[in-house]
Amino acid sequence: MSNSISLESRSVHDPEVHHYNAPHQVPLVAASSFCFDSIQQGMAIFDGEEPGHIYGRFGNPTIDAAAQKIADMEAHGTGQTAKGLFCSSGMAAIATAILGVLDGPGRVLTAPDLYGGTVSLLQQMEKQGVELITCDLRDLEAVEQHLRKYKNIKLIYCETPANPTLKITDLKGLANLSHAAGAKLIVDNTFATPMVQQPIALGADVVLHSTTKYLNGHGTGVAGALVTTDAALFSDRFVPIYRLYGGSGNAWDAWLVLNGLKTLPIRMERHAANALAVARWLVEQPLVELVNYPGLENHPQRQLAARQMRSGGGMLSFSLRGGTEAAYRFMNSIDFCTLTPTLGDVDTLVLHPASMSHRGLDPEVRRAQGIPDGLIRLSVGIETVGDIIADLEQAINAS
């Protein structure tokens, strides 16, 4: 740049930045657009003939690094190459995946006890010709019967462990049935993370995350991620939807997730160890009538959980005797733990599904799904487990 420009212009234009040495960490690239050395280079990047970045909605170095790191972790050890997209939220990742796989009207087979946001999205899609079919995905015979009965099922959508019942779905069996019927299998892996469970290794076509939860781990940002090993599906369907529907994430949240991922292995190890200790303690409490945790020895799906999960994870739920009123008294008595409608942070988080995450469900339907009025969901943190148990004990006694 010429030295003859004015002082005012100098304040507007930045100097060239030369990276004489590579930064030790992935830098936070806060830029809405990127420059070209020539019009020819710009055209080549636009046409995909040359690597490069164009516009923040299409991605940037920080966003791409977060997406690829999550993809590499999900596919690690499988011998497959995965690609990822970093999205503005978990819901943006879910929408991109479903829209991409369906590519127009079609049938979706899923469980009745999905995350409420996913159910609402699918119900909205029914207005555009999507048909929503539900059955217990843990019952593979029922799944097979539905696949025979309903033609043109394009995708099976699964969450495992389920929220908040912690029921486990056989991903390998579900993938085999899905592919035999010509359908894609999408798995929300938010509860488990790739440190506990890798759906791609079990046959899933697409894996989703609300990175707001464990992957970030500190409650500091909202974002999501989509991962697939299907290169054509990724480039032909997911990328255009991602760019045109505006579901792309931002560099700040991507940078937070990149930092969170560095401690994910040791955090998940501590989350799981604490959750198992809390679950074992809860089983012994006379005011607790039910404990859901896949790491417990008496969990009805313990063997399946042991086959496809490396631990029971950090989530559990338990039901108090006394129903709604007992749950309210418990929630209002916690002191060390935190009442909040999220999960996966380093501290212990408590939620009452009947009055919060699942309050929109008909009570009879909710109970039929294994969510009684007194059920409490616990996202067990990495604190000293004795402190967690002490707070739960005083709150249970107060219930």
Which residue numbers are catalytic? 57, 115, 188, 213
Q: What does each C-alpha distance from 295 to 191, 244, 278, 368 come to in angstroms?
A: 14, 42, 11, 23
Contact 389, 337 (CB under 8 A): no
DSSP calls for 350-391:
EE-TTTTTTTTS-HHHHHHTT--TTEEEEE--SS-HHHHHHH
Dist. CA 63–CA 249, nearest whole Å: 7
Asked if 104 contacts 129 with a C-beta cutoff of 8 angstroms, the reply is yes
The answer to whether residues 20 and 32 touch, using CB atoms and an 8 Å cutoff, is: no
- Bridge-partner residues for 134, per DSSP? 110
Q: How are strands ordered across the β-sheet holding 184-188? A: 83-87, 224-228, 206-210, 184-188, 153-159, 106-110, 130-134
- Cβ–Cβ < 8 Å for 238, 214: no
Exposed/middle/buried for residue 367 (C-beta within 10 Å: 0-12, 13-18, 19+): middle
> Is the distance from CB of 373 to CB of 355 less than 8 angstroms?
no
As a whole number of Å, the end-to-end CA separation of the chain is 71
Question: How many Cβ atoms are within 10 Å of 235's Cβ, its own excluded?
Answer: 12
Give the number of C-alpha atoms closer than 13 A to the C-alpha of residue 177, restricted to the C-beta side: 24
CB 106 within 8 A of CB 243: no
Taken as a whole, the chain contains a residue count of 399
Angle at 353 between CA 99 and CA 362, to 5 degrees: 75
